[in-house]
Structure formats: structure tokens, C-alpha cells
Amino acid sequence: MLSNDFDGVKIGLEIHCQLTALNTKMFCNCSSDYRGKPPNTLLCTVCTGLPGALPVLNKRALEAAIKIGLALNCKISNNSNFFRKNYFYPDSPKNYQITQYDKAGGEAIANNGTVETNLGSVRITRIQMEEDPGKLQYEGSITTSSNTLIDYNRAGISLVEIVTEPDIVSPKHAREFLNTIQSIVETIGECDSKLDGSMRADANVSISDGRRVEIKNISSFKEVERALNFEITRQKTIQAASKMETRHWDDVRRVTVTLRVKEDEEGYRYFPDPDLPPMNISENYIDEFRQSLPELPDKRLKRFTKEIKLSEEIARILIRNKIVADYFEETLTHEYNPKLLSGWIATDIMGYLNRNNVEFSDLPIESKALASLAKSVSDSKINDSTAKAILLKSLSSGTTIGDLLKSELDNLVSFDDLPKIIDTVISDNPKALEDAKNDSQAIHFLIGQVMKVTKGRANHSKVKELIETKLK
Amino acid sequence: MSQLSSQFEEIKEKNQTINAYITFSDLSDNTSNGKLSGKTIAIKDTISTAGLRTTCASKMLENYIPPFDAHVVSLLKNQGATILGKANCDEFAMGSSTEHSAFGVTRNPHDLERVPGGSSGGSAAAVAGNLADLALGSDTGGSIRCPASFCGIVGLKPTYGLVSRYGLIAYGNSLEQIGPMAKNVHDCALLLECISDYDNRDATCVNTKKIKYTEHLDDDISNMKIAVPKEFFGTGTDPKVEETVRNTIDKLASEGAIVEEINIESIKYSLAAYYIIAMSEASSNLARFDGLRYGLHTGKSKDWNELFSNNRKSGFGFEVKRRIMLGTFALSSGYFDEYYIKAQKVRSIITNDFKKIFDKFDAIVGPTMPTLPFKLGEKLTNPLSMYMSDIDTVSANLAGIPSISVPCGYSDNLPIGIQIMSSHFEEKTLLNLGSKIEQIRGFDVE
Ligand SMILES: [Zn+2]
């Protein structure tokens, strides 16, 4: 697809983000660590909606939502409140969901933010808190199963929903934006996006004439770009093909998700939840979080390019994943060679991991070991290409950098023995010494002779350095 | 046979006529020593009791046994009270006569052909008919005060947030409170002392300083400023009720209280606002009763939608269905602004009006009920006239202020209650005035 095919495209996203750092559910004290647990074992009177049980807000959920709001440059509401979204569905034990609302006196926890990406900034409409429903499960497949099984372990897990303005201009931009959000929530430490189902997105797409289609429940961020590409192509194709058949297009519109969803939105009978009084959030309370906010990716990017002087390209690769950027900074504490270390991490290591489908968190090389490799280069014990070879060998063989480096260094002729060998080579080749004095390129013959005598086991730069002293 | 268990047998016998109880407890020994040791108590069946069936007077919960105690029930047990059983009420507390119960009507001990009021009619009848020393009720729009008035006992609706709602099966949760019911003001004050305890499991519960209400019953009332709103004696008020209540107010004036007639214009909108808010909340609160996890289950259906429909169709009574339908309507898009939002606006106007009155006055006084207890079946076919009987009580729920009903006289051998309202968390004033009324009204409640 040509880039101008996205002219006039406006994309908005709704991102559901589980607050995975919390220990308990949003409105009760049940454990929120539900993954892999036997069905219906993390339940209480509140999250199963027993008559007379009442929800009490988990303060950590509020803290996490405020932190995410601040990180996305939102205004935190001082008088945020909860609403009920009413609908009958078996995954919802109360047959309503506790959520937030932007109308009828509703106030989401955070509003009016912006997120910068390298493809343009995206305004955040609001961030709202809500509870996850339970999970429906089918024996075999949904069509053949005679029973629906319900697991309420997930019911009541804390979520924030991040709603954007339709500022996203292409599917690629959407992907870039999602990566940025992911990196931000991970930096704050409130959402581990690697956990299955911890981040989900809905998208809405409209083309220049204002038609809007929603794509619901896209299961992973990787699929968002693909789904958007498909939807935009489909819309444009239909438009082009049916210019004379406007009515046909209208018919199609009637069955698109958008209309149905719109009707649903109005049918949810939102109203303020009387069990949860509005949250009085003081500016002082918000300030505490503002001050304790960790360095966010865009700030880190600036520091990497301005202070550490990395190239923008390398810096972006590093900050995209908090673990990677943290690892890089850890190596610097052992050996301050940012250029070498950032290059190894961003290209050699990440390239290897991507090719082999390994997560960075599973990287077997400790930051200290990688730093020691860099130090050997700084100390001229080995050269760049030898170091890189050791790194790649360590990655593929699993042998530690320490062991590889040791055998490499053990193999080298010691620095103490080098002057004697060089003296012998020079006395065997007196003419070459004279040539080298006149022609700087001629030194390579002498270096070559030394390497030949030592069978390549001499440190190249050390040899060069020593011969150069003889030329003066 | 111990004295208590022979007494229990007598109560069960009497209950055959009154039908104050839906379920009796197994009368387990309460070894805790406390303020309520030796006292027997009936608990409204909207309040959860661990291991003891809690039906809300509904077929929906006919076999529901809660796995936990409401906070107030734990407090009663700690104070040594003996729980006799679960008191009848209107289904899910929706009614003013206790005629809307899946377990039959409760009869008024003063006249068996008349209603005990509602929705906490079983609780009131149990106390009035000597089937319990004390009772707990719940009051969403008058459900404690109405039956207290009709049965000639004392009933108090606390300030919203004074008593934990944890374990109270919700009808209109922004309006309701659990409250004490007793023969006299002292016992009512004592029971309130025991149940007003901060509970962090109810986010609307307020952590206030504990007050020993029983120690303020004899405080001096001279120079206390009492407002009497004209609106509480509007059309539909039985002249016999008006006369008795006004007599009592005159006696308070002779005791030194400063009485002044006032107007609260907004009160005329209170009934409409109350019913819209209560029904809207109810439509959502009662959504959880789908028969899937607990409650009536009608058997296999073709899908969950049909299952929910069947369970709810069979489980809920007519009045509950009516209120769910009306509440669903009021919250529906297109009607929400006109009904729910407007009702909330009225609510805040009423709340403000009351606030202004309490800047000048200590209490507001009027009748609890506009009429004497009516006959069984009299209003059953006319829901509007049934709703109208809440006209004097609902404003306290809308404003969240405390209110008490104290017997102040009889007409045709039927009891009449006087209602007192005060500012938020000023229950002390209500009980103080109530106690004074007991001294000056010229009769005792046996
Ligand atoms: Zn729970």
C-alpha cells in the first residue's frame, strides 16, 4: 500500500491495560494472580456479587491509575467517581460492571493528555478505571460445546482503559503509539505486558468522509497494525467500487460493528455507583506521585542522545523496552564505553535474540560480563572484531564471556615477550625498518612478520605501538 | 426446658397468627457478655445472617443461606443478643405494608385485620406483639418509621453512613440504612449504640466519634428550636393524626421548646424523586439475581438469556418486577435526563433546603404517616396510593438525615407516631426529644 493511501485516515484507540503489579483485585482482597490458577479458587463475597457484599476501592489501583495518567501527561481529576455499566452477561457476577463514565456527572480519573511518538503526537481523551469480568470457557469449541463454563477468578481484576482522540494517522503510527504506551506503563512498573491478555486494544477508523468503523477485541498489539490495514483497504475498496451504489454501502454500514456498538452504549444504562463515593483526590496527593514518577521513555531518549551522545536511532531501539535500556545503563556502571556497548546491545544482541525468538529478559549474559568485554577493548587487550566474535560465540554456544575472553587472552603472547620477538624480526629485516621510517604504510610488513612468527597470537595494536617506538 | 426456650415456643405459637417471622433461628446459646445480654432480637430478612436463611421475603432467595454475617449482626452477637429469627418484610423491602411478601402478610398486633406497615413490618410486629425485645429494620424511604408508627413502637433511621450496610441486601443503596426498633426510646438508643460502628467494608460508612446515646436521653430540651413544616400536614393527612401530632408538639412547647411553623417548598417533589432514584438503583442492584450462582434456578434452558429470564420471571413477585421495570425505564437513554438526572437535582435541592433549616433549628417535627394503619388489601390494587403513604418519610432518606418515629397517641385504638428529623449525625437530639415525648404523652407502651 502506498503511503498516500492513508490520506484522511483517522484512527482512535482504546487500550485495556491490567494493573498487573497489584496483589489484590480492584474492590476486594482476593489475590489478583489468577493466571494458571484452578478455576473459581480466587473468589469472595464481593467479586462473586453475593447479596449484601459491597465493593471497596483498592488504593493501589487508584495510585497506579494516577501514575499512568501523569505519565501520559493527563490532568488528574480531583473528584473522580465510579459508574455502573448495566448489562446481563454470565461473565459478570453482578450483571453490571463498575467502570467510569464521561457523561452525566461522571469523571474519569485522568483526562486530556498527550503522548509523543516519532510519527506524531497523540492526544489522550481520558483514562478510566474499571473491573475485568470473568472468563467464559467451552469444552472443545464454542460451537460444539454443550456447556458454558464460567471462571470468575479474573472477575474484579483492575484495569485502566486508555482512550485516545482520533489522532493516529496510519496503522504503522498505531503500532508505534502502542509500543510507546507499552514502554511507558512498563517503566512505571504497573503493567507487565508480557502476561497473556494484560494489554488489549480496540480501534476505530474513519476515512475523510467521516465514516467510522470500530474493530473490537484485537487480541495482540501485533495484530492491530494488520487489522487496521485490512479495514482501511476494505473501506476504500468498497467506496471506490460503489460510488454509484451509495445505498448498498449504507446497507453494509447497518451491519458493521459501529452501529450495533452505538446502540449498546446507549443501552448500558450508566449511572453513578451508590456504593462508591466520589474520590476526593487532593493536589498534594497527586504531587507525591508526580515527584516519585520514574524517568519516562521520552526523557530517557533525550538523556541518551544529549548526555550519553548515542545516535537517535540506537537510543530509540534501547528505550523501546525498559529492560533493554536498564541493562544498557547497568553495563555503563561497570565500564563507561557507551558507543561500543550500545552498539553491541542494539544490533548484535537484539539481532541475535530476534532471530532466535528469545526475550531480552532471558539474555544469558550478565551486564557485568558484557562490560568486561568492553573493558578489554578499551585496554587494548583485544580489538573490536575479536570482542564481537567473542560476544556472538557466547550467545550461540552458551559459553560465558569470561571463559571465552580468558582463553583468548591466554592464547596471546604476553606483552613482556613481545619486545624480544619484535627485535628479532627487525634484525632479520633491516631494510624493512628503513622503509617504514620513510613510508608509514610499510610498517604493516613488519607487523605481518611479527604475527607470522607468533602464529597470530600477538595483540595487533600492541605490536604496532611497539614497532612505532623503534621508528623514532 | 429453660425459660428462654419455653418463651421461644410461645413466640412460635404467637407467630402462627402474626406471621412476623419467616425463619426462626436454632436459638444457639450466645455466651458473649455485653450490652444486649438477655435481650431477644428479630432481624429483618434483608440483612444477611451466616448459616441462617435470608430470603428478602422473595421466592428468588427461598433457599439462600448466606456464608457471612452482616456487620450489624456480628456486632449484636458480640454484645450478647439472642437472635430469634428473620423478620418478614415486603419482598426486597419494596412496599409500605408487608403485604408484598412471598411468605404471606404480617398482621398488625393492634388489629389483626390491618397492615403492620412496611417494609420492616415483621420487625415492628415482632416487637409490638412481644415476639422479640428488639428488632433491626432497614429504611430506604420510611421502611423502619412507617411500621414503627403503625405498630406503636419506636423506630429510628440513622444518618446515611452511621451504620454499615455490609450484608444488607440492597434495594436503593444511596438511600437506605439499617436501624433499631424497640418498645421504648431507651432500648432504641441502646441498640443504636451497639450497631453504629465504623466498618471499612462499606465505603459509604463514615468514621465518626462514638456517642453513648443512652446518656443523652434526659438532656434539657428547653430552648430547643423545632420547625414544623406545613407540607407535612398536606392533603391526605388524616385529621385524627394531625390533631394528635399537633397536641404532642404543643406539649413540647410547654416544656420550653421553641416551635415555629415553616415551609419547605421542595418537599412536594420528594416522593417523585425518591421513587425514581430508589427504583433506578433497584433495577441495577437486583440484576445479580439471575439464578446462576445462587437463588432460584428453574432448570435447563436453551441459552443463558432464556435461563436468566425464566429464573427472574419465576423468582420475583409482581411489585418487584414493576419497580425493576420502572427503574430500567428511568435509566434508559432518552429518558435518563428527564427522570434520573432531574430526580438527582431535586434531591440536592431538598438536601440544601434541609441544611438551611438546620442552620436555624435543632429538629423538624411532623407525623410519621399521614394515616392510621390501613386494612389488609386496602391499597394493594392501587400502587399510587400505597406509594403516597411514604410522603412524609422519604425526604429524610433523600437528604441522608436521621429520623425517628415515636408513639404519641392513639385513635380508634390504633397507634399514631410522631416523626422527628435532625441534622446529620444528630441522632442524640432525636432520642432526647423522643424520650421527652414518652414522658409527656400520658401513656406507656406495654
Ligand atoms: Zn474477591
- All structural domains of chain B with their residue ranges: 2-231+242-261+359-441
pLDDT digits (tens, 9 = 90+) for A384-425: 888 888 999 898 888 888 888 888 877 777 777 888 888 888
Could you tell me if A378 lies within 8 Å of chain B, comparing CB atoms?
no
Return the higher-pLDDT residue of B127 and A386.
B127
The predicted model gives A300-322 an average pLDDT of 90
**pLDDT of B349 higher than 60:** yes
**pLDDT of B149 higher than 90:** yes
pLDDT score of A188? 92
Partner-chain residue, chosen from B169, B204, B287, that has the shortest CB–CB distance to A88: B287
CA A158 to chain B, closest CA, distance in angstroms equals 18
pLDDT digits (tens, 9 = 90+) for B316-336: 999 999 999 999 999 998 899
Q: What CATH superfamily classification does B2-231+242-261+359-441 receive?
A: Amidase signature (AS) domain (3.90.1300.10)
Chain centre distance of CA B255:
29
**What are the distances in angstroms from CA B280 to CA A270, B108, B274?**
11, 31, 10
pLDDT score of A429? 83
pLDDT score of B266? 94
pTM equals: 0.87
Q: Provide φ and ψ at B17, rounded to 5°.
A: -90, -50
% of chain A with per-residue pLDDT over 70: 90
Do B287 and A269 make contact, defined as CB atoms within 8 angstroms? no
Across A338-347, A463-472, B114-123, B178-187, least confident range: A463-472
pLDDT score of A256? 30
- Asked whether the bond before A440 is cis by omega within 30 degrees of 0, the reply is no
Could you tell me if B328 lies within 8 Å of chain A, comparing CB atoms?
yes
The predicted model gives B214-226 an average pLDDT of 95
pLDDT digits (tens, 9 = 90+) for A340-395: 999 999 999 999 988 888 888 888 899 999 999 999 888 878 878 888 889 998 98
The predicted model gives A138-154 an average pLDDT of 80
Q: How is residue A71 annotated by DSSP?
A: H
Residue count of chain B, please give it: 446
List the catalytic residues of B.
44, 119, 143
pLDDT score of A143? 65
Residue of B nearest to A279 (CA): B203
Across A251-265, B46-60, B391-405, least confident range: A251-265
pLDDT digits (tens, 9 = 90+) for A196-233: 889 988 888 887 766 667 777 676 777 788 888 877 77
Residues of A in contact with B329 (CB under 8 A): none
The predicted model gives B139-145 an average pLDDT of 98
Round to whole Å and give the CA distance between B198 and B82: 22
Round to whole Å and give the CA distance between B38 and B134: 11
Q: Are A114 and A120 in contact (CB under 8 A)?
A: no
Which among A138-152, A298-312, A379-393, B346-360 has the top mean pLDDT?
B346-360
Return the higher-pLDDT residue of A103 and A76.
A76
**pLDDT of B151 higher than 70:** yes
pLDDT score of A229? 82
Round to whole Å and give the CA distance between B200 and B202: 5
pLDDT score of A4? 55
The predicted model gives A81-106 an average pLDDT of 94
pLDDT score of A259? 37
Q: What is the DSSP string of A105-172?
A: T---SEEEEEE--TT--EEEEEEEEEE---EEEESS-TTT-S-EEEEGGGTT-EEEEEEE-S-B-SHH
The model's confidence at residue A462, banded by pLDDT at 50, 70 and 90, is confident
**pLDDT of A461 higher than 50:** yes
What residue type is A388 in one-letter code? K
pLDDT score of A320? 84
The model's confidence at residue A469, banded by pLDDT at 50, 70 and 90, is confident
**pLDDT of A234 higher than 90:** no
The predicted model gives B13-42 an average pLDDT of 92
pLDDT score of A141? 65
% of chain B with per-residue pLDDT over 70: 100
pLDDT digits (tens, 9 = 90+) for B173-210: 999 999 999 999 999 999 999 999 999 999 999 999 99
pLDDT score of A358? 84
pLDDT score of A215? 78
Q: Are B244 and B380 in contact (CB under 8 A)?
A: no
pLDDT score of A423? 84
Residues of B in contact with A54 (CB under 8 A): 165-166, 201-203
Residues of B in contact with A90 (CB under 8 A): 290, 292, 304
Return the higher-pLDDT residue of B385 and B365.
B365
The model's confidence at residue B282, banded by pLDDT at 50, 70 and 90, is very high
The predicted model gives B76-88 an average pLDDT of 96
Domains and their CATH numbers in chain A: 4-290 (no CATH), 310-365+372-399 (no CATH), 415-471 (1.10.10.410)
pLDDT score of A283? 96
pLDDT score of B314? 96
Q: Where are the beta strands (DSSP E) in A207-266?
A: 212-218
Which residues 188-227 of B have a C-beta within 8 angstroms of A?
200-204
Q: Are B365 and B419 in contact (CB under 8 A)?
A: yes
**pLDDT of A25 higher than 90:** yes
Give residue A49 CA to ligand 1 midpoint distance, Å. Answer: 9
Across A137-151, A358-372, B39-53, B346-360, least confident range: A137-151
What residue type is B424 in one-letter code? H
